[in-house]
Amino acid sequence: MAKCGRNIYTAISTTAILESTVLMLNGNNFSEWKENLLFYLGCLELDLALCEDEPPALTDTSTPLEGTKHERWERSNRLSLMFMKSHVTKGIRGSIPECKRATEFMRAVDEQFVSSDKALASTLMKKLSSKTFDRSISVREHIMEMRDMATQLKSLEVDISDSFLVHFILNSLPTEYTPFKISYNTHKDKWSVNELLTICVQEEERLKQEKPQSVHFVATHDKGKSKRGKSAPHLKKDNKLSIKKNDNKDTCFFCKKGRHMKKDCQKYKR
């Protein structure tokens, strides 16, 4: 009895944990809602009505096996339908016609959100193709974001191959990674996204180690250049001033000729 009680408690706890992961359908999260919902029903083995057609109605000649199968399907359909309705907001639930089967309810929800899925796929494609690495995050996070967008597109029936995604990621990297891109393009083997992620992280670390040395060299070079540039004009200016002072000192203010002062100027005396 104690063991049976523990098993029931474990089953209830697992159900509660799984149910907490299912989102409420609010109009903007249809794909995620559907994925979580099917995962939850599958874990609890309640998705039979969504995976198989309804078995024939029971008759007096039906076998016990057919009766058991029909009973399992009916239970799956009833619980799945109740669970889906309980995880849809009232505004959306009111626009869905009354359904007796879980598949009908799911189809009705699909029809309402098929246009929003197309718009979402278009937005994700534009975002993925225009995304660039701006260094506000690490290269690992950058690649994982792009891979997440590709996964979302796959759930919207827009399949992007690994090879295509690798090229998207390489094109999003800045000029510092140009030698790295050339190396890939000249390499015969194709990389997976995971291999590209590992190599990009290593390349990022290498660039970080080289950056302080290059910054120190540029700073030292500019400092020496500025010192040389500042000293030369002062020397030229001082030389010009000294020449001008000497010229003024040996020039007569009366006759404007050099090599004597005004007091010694013969023309001035006359």
Q: Which among 123, 118, 148, 145 is positioned nearest to 134, based on CA atoms?
A: 145
The predicted structure's pLDDT at residue 243: 47
Is 25 strand, coil or helix? strand
- pLDDT, tens digit (0-9, with 9 covering 90-100), for 183-227: 888 877 788 899 999 989 998 998 888 876 554 444 555 555 555
Is pLDDT above 60 for 246?
no
pTM of the model: 0.48
Which residues, at least 6 apart from 181, have a Cβ–Cβ distance to it below 8 Å?
170, 173
What is the model's pLDDT at position 3?
A: 47
CB 150 within 8 A of CB 165: yes
pLDDT tens-digit profile of 121-170? 888 899 998 999 988 999 999 999 999 999 888 877 788 888 889 999 99
Q: d(Cα 226, Cα 232) in Å, to the nearest integer? A: 10
Token pair, residue 26, equals 């609010």
- 32-69 tens-digit pLDDT: 888 889 989 998 888 999 999 999 888 888 899 999 99
Residue 4 has pLDDT above 50, yes or no: no
| Residue 25 β-bridge partners | 88
Buried-state track 54-77, b at ≥16 Cβ within 10 A, e below 16: eeeeeeeeeeeeeeebbebbeebb
Rounded to 10°, the helix 2-21/30-43 angle is 170
- pLDDT higher than 80, residue 14: no
Residue 270, judged by CB atoms within 10 A of its CB (0-12, 13-18, 19+), counts as: exposed
Structural tokens at position 121: 């796929």
Q: Is residue 136 classed as helix, strand or coil in its secondary structure? A: coil
